[in-house]
Chains A and B, each alone.
Chain A
Amino acid sequence: MSKLAASILRALSNLRQNWLISSITVGIISVCLFLVGGYLLLTHNLKEAVTTFKTEVRLTVYLRDGFPQKDVDAFQDRMASLPEVHSVAFISKDQALEDLGAMLAGNQNLLEGLESNPLPASLRIIPSPEHRSIEGVNSILAAIGDDPLVEEIVYGKEWLDRLDKVLAILEIGSIALGLALSLAAVFIISNTIKITVMARKDELEIMRLVGATEGFIRIPFLVEGILQGVAGAVLSLVLLFGLFQVLVQRSGPALLSTFRLDTLSFLPHPLIGLILLGGMVIGGLGSLASVGRHSR
């Protein structure tokens, strides 16, 4: 049997012998990673919601009357060719009036008596996803320049400014809070492991007295730490998924309409992998560092 296989067997045997303290460690790791995972789940869905809000970023370019259609087509083509632009739609004067009529459903008498169509034709420009910000909109505005065709451009400047600020706060806040939460989790988990190792300091001492190498002592502890970390991470993900399902079933529709989301989604695979890896690394390194502290 290889030394590694023997170490893994000894780690499993140690976990069985110290099952109570091992279970407590797994429980504490799972609670910590559950909180980190819950936070990741929240920010993940918030970011999805913000992405949905951003699809509403658009510019409406009102056109002056009296220009030939070929000039309008050329202007539309020029806009569509900009890298910042996702799509351009032309809304004729007639279409604009029809749309207004639809919006005024039930009060169409307001439009009766109009001698001519007062509404201008317009282009509805939707920026490409990566340019749905104040900078993206500004660069489209710069590309439009002082075109004589353009009478007015409307793009909800204040709303866009506010959205950008909210996004910046969310981004910085999520990183800061995520870091703080992760550090707290690392601190709690490493201290829990330290206590479990301290509880076995007699075993460490005796193993050294009978001539165990540091590798012989440390590898099983490393394996135990990794197994406990992974078990804690899996447990936290199962709990989180269960809670997520209950939440979606009980208050899913309300949440969806609040955040204008099509669907609430669980953690994507990279984040699930991150939590598993986090458990593994914290468990393994925490264990190894604690054994090292008892080295002479």
Chain B
Amino acid sequence: MIQLFHVSKWYQKEVPALQDINLHIPKGDFVFVTGASGAGKSTLLKLLFAEERPTNGQILVHGRNIARLPFSRIHTLRRETGIVFQDFKLLPNRNVFQNVALSLEVLSLPQRDISRRVWLMLQRLGIQHKMRANPLTLSGGEQQRVAIARALVNDPVIFLADEPTGGLDHEASMKIMEVITDVNARGTTVLVATHNLEMVRSMGRRVIHLEGGRIAQGVAP
């Protein structure tokens, strides 16, 4: 469960990135966060994985107040959170398998377990045949699948995606959304920030629309 109470974020004194956000997202929900560029979508997601700290307000993720989470404990939150970005953030000096394995290496798991889980995850996303490939040689859709595999391989309870279909064509976008829907069907809470309204409408899910850092419509209290 994710709860935000009167959360504001100011990067500069004059312009708030987010203002007085109150949210309640139950466990297992699927939520789109929409809004124009600069509306605060990315900032909202960044607050949820403690990349940024709120200027005001409290954020509870599974009962833990992450607004006050010390720097030394951030990794515990990140290990429960799968994160995907529009620019994939894959390492070019590691192959597909090694990129995905990174999420399990940080848990210091035995190599045999890492190999088995990475293989299963690549298989689930249909990219197992690319496991030795350099990510830069893959198509945009394939690279995003690798990024999703890396985000999911450690079984996170929350999945955050910031413009996961940005830059992808319609077909590739729909395939990525199918994968994310499947993730949600397995019980993971999903938040997807996007400005692809057509896709949002076609999915028929809950929408949080941001305008100038405030929630504008379609919000469950």
User: CB within 8 Å of B: which residues of A?
Assistant: 3, 6, 10, 17-18, 202-203, 205-214, 216, 295-296
| Cα–Cα distance between A10 and B101 once the two chains are bound (Å) | 13
Q: Contacts of A3 on B, CB cut-off 8 Å?
A: 108
| Cα–Cα distance between A203 and B102 once the two chains are bound (Å) | 10
The answer to whether A211 and B91 have CB atoms under 8 Å apart is no
The answer to whether B51 and A210 have CB atoms under 8 Å apart is no
Min CB distance B96 to A, Å, is 14
A18's closest neighbor in chain B, by CB? B93
| Cα–Cα distance between A162 and B219 once the two chains are bound (Å) | 90
Secondary structure dominating the interface of A: helix
Could you count the A-B residue pairs with CB atoms below 8 Å apart for me: how many are there?
50
Q: Contacts of B93 on A, CB cut-off 8 Å?
A: 17-18
The answer to whether B91 and A203 have CB atoms under 8 Å apart is yes
Min CB distance A215 to B, Å, is 10
The answer to whether A208 and B91 have CB atoms under 8 Å apart is no
Q: Contacts of B79 on A, CB cut-off 8 Å?
A: 210-211
Q: How does the 8 Å CB contact mask read for B92-119 relative to A, with 1 for contact and 0 for none?
A: 0110000000110111100000000000
Contact flag A211-B75 (CB < 8 Å), given A206-B102, A296-B51: yes
| Cα–Cα distance between A205 and B46 once the two chains are bound (Å) | 13
B77's closest neighbor in chain A, by CB? A211
The answer to whether A202 and B106 have CB atoms under 8 Å apart is no
Contact flag A211-B78 (CB < 8 Å), given A202-B91, A205-B89, A296-B71: yes
Min CB distance A190 to B, Å, is 24
From the candidates B74, B89, B150, name the one contacting A202 in the complex (CB within 8 A): B89
Min CB distance A2 to B, Å, is 10
| Cα–Cα distance between A203 and B81 once the two chains are bound (Å) | 18
Q: List 20 A-B contacts (CB under 8 A).
A: A10-B105, A18-B93, A203-B91, A206-B89, A206-B91, A206-B102, A210-B102, A210-B106, A211-B75, A211-B76, A211-B78, A211-B81, A211-B103, A211-B106, A211-B107, A211-B154, A212-B106, A214-B72, A216-B108, A296-B71
The answer to whether A216 and B106 have CB atoms under 8 Å apart is yes
| Cα–Cα distance between A216 and B72 once the two chains are bound (Å) | 12
Q: Which of A202, A205, A209, A212 has the most CB of B within 10 A?
A: A209
Q: Contacts of B72 on A, CB cut-off 8 Å?
A: 214
| Cα–Cα distance between A207 and B105 once the two chains are bound (Å) | 10
Q: Contacts of B77 on A, CB cut-off 8 Å?
A: 211
Min CB distance A216 to B, Å, is 6
